[in-house]
A and B are shown apart, each in its own frame.
Chain A
Amino acid sequence: MTRFKDLNPILHSQLRLAVISLLISTEVAEFTYIQEQTGATAGNLSIQITKLKEAGYIEVTKKFRNNYPQTLCRITPLGRQKFTEYVKALKDYLNPDKGDQK
């Protein structure tokens, strides 16, 4: 049975989980797109994206488009794996009986 404290602390936070959940079904997403979808402030989002990047869960690329800076984010294979594990652990936590029967 999964205990609440066993949930991956990097993903078990509102904004970081929202970012990873957005990136799981996108090939690549701009910083501004993530900001629009999550409704987060630029500063807070920037901090959380840095934490996900440092954990190796996402890749961040900075480019210029029409002379404007553009920050692109994409999930890494490690991030995908950790997200899958997190969802599984969450399911086990929410349905402990099913987890025990296995």
Chain B
Amino acid sequence: MENTEKMMTGEESLKIITDMINKTKVNIRQGSFHLLFWGWLIFICSLSEYLLYKFTDLSNAWYVWLFVIPGVFVSLIYGFVTGRKEKAHTYAEMLYMWTWIGFMFAAIVLFIVLARSMESIAPFILLLAGIPTFISGFIIKFKPLIVGGITFWILALVAHFAGPSIAPLAVPVAMLTGYLIPGYMLKSKVDHDKV
């Protein structure tokens, strides 16, 4: 941009404002990491729990969920380190970040409240997880994530109403539709945009 003191027309002013605001779109580079990380972690935990219940005599198969605790730290550290490298933080990015942190706190409270009845947690956690997924889709203008959020809510109903042979599969299926498929689509979009 040249020396700025020369006279601008009204149209030029408007163009500068529009161009600059368009340059502060949400940076989605981080988004796919968290979706893929949590998608695979929860997919493996939920499927392992289901398989352990179905094919072994283990009564405490839910212990596989303890892997979520180090997962929270991995996610927070990755977000912190990557965030520090960014040269600017847009309000949309801050909204994206706080939506997910809000979900994390709500999920912790849910786990505490339902600690004695973990077998009934699936519909509630899916109901809750649908909200940040759905909102994030709108923030980054990415339809697969919006659809992913909606599938969480549909699968929350499945988890609640379907019989015991189908209901436990609602969580792993939700990870595919809500996190993994949108996550890989987002990653391919980011990689494509870089080229």
Contacts and interface: CB of A to CB of B under 8 A. Distances in A.
User: Which label, helix, strand, loop or mixed, suits the secondary structure of the A interface?
Assistant: helix
B90 A12 contact: no
Contacts of A14: 1-2, 4, 6, 8, 12, 16
A27 B90 contact: yes
B94 to A, nearest CB: 6
Interface residues of A, number: 32
Interface string B15-27: 0110111011000
A18 to B, nearest CB: 5
A21 interface: yes
Contacts of A24: 21
Contacts of A21: 16-17, 19-21
B16 A17 contact: yes
Contacts of A32: 87
Contacts of A18: 1, 16, 19-20
Contact of B91 (A4, A7, A27): A27
Contacts of B91: 25-27
A33 B4 contact: no
Contacts of A16: 4
A90 B94 contact: no
Nearest to B3: A44
Contacts of A25: 21, 24, 90-92
A28 interface: yes
Contact of A22 (B3, B14, B24, B94): B24
Interface in B75-133: 84, 87-92, 94
Contacts of A93: 10
A58 B104 CA distance: 34
A39 interface: yes
A75 to B, nearest CB: 11
Contact of B87 (A17, A30, A48): A30
A28 B20 CA distance: 15
B101 to A, nearest CB: 15
A29 interface: yes
Interface in A21-56: 21-22, 24-30, 32-33, 36-40, 44, 48
A52 B173 CA distance: 53
7 contacts: A14-B4, A17-B16, A17-B17, A29-B88, A33-B87, A39-B1, A94-B14
Interface of B: 1-6, 8, 10-14, 16-17, 19-21, 23-24, 84, 87-92, 94
Given A15-B4, A21-B16, A94-B14, 7 more contacts: A13-B5, A25-B21, A26-B88, A27-B91, A29-B89, A40-B1, A87-B17
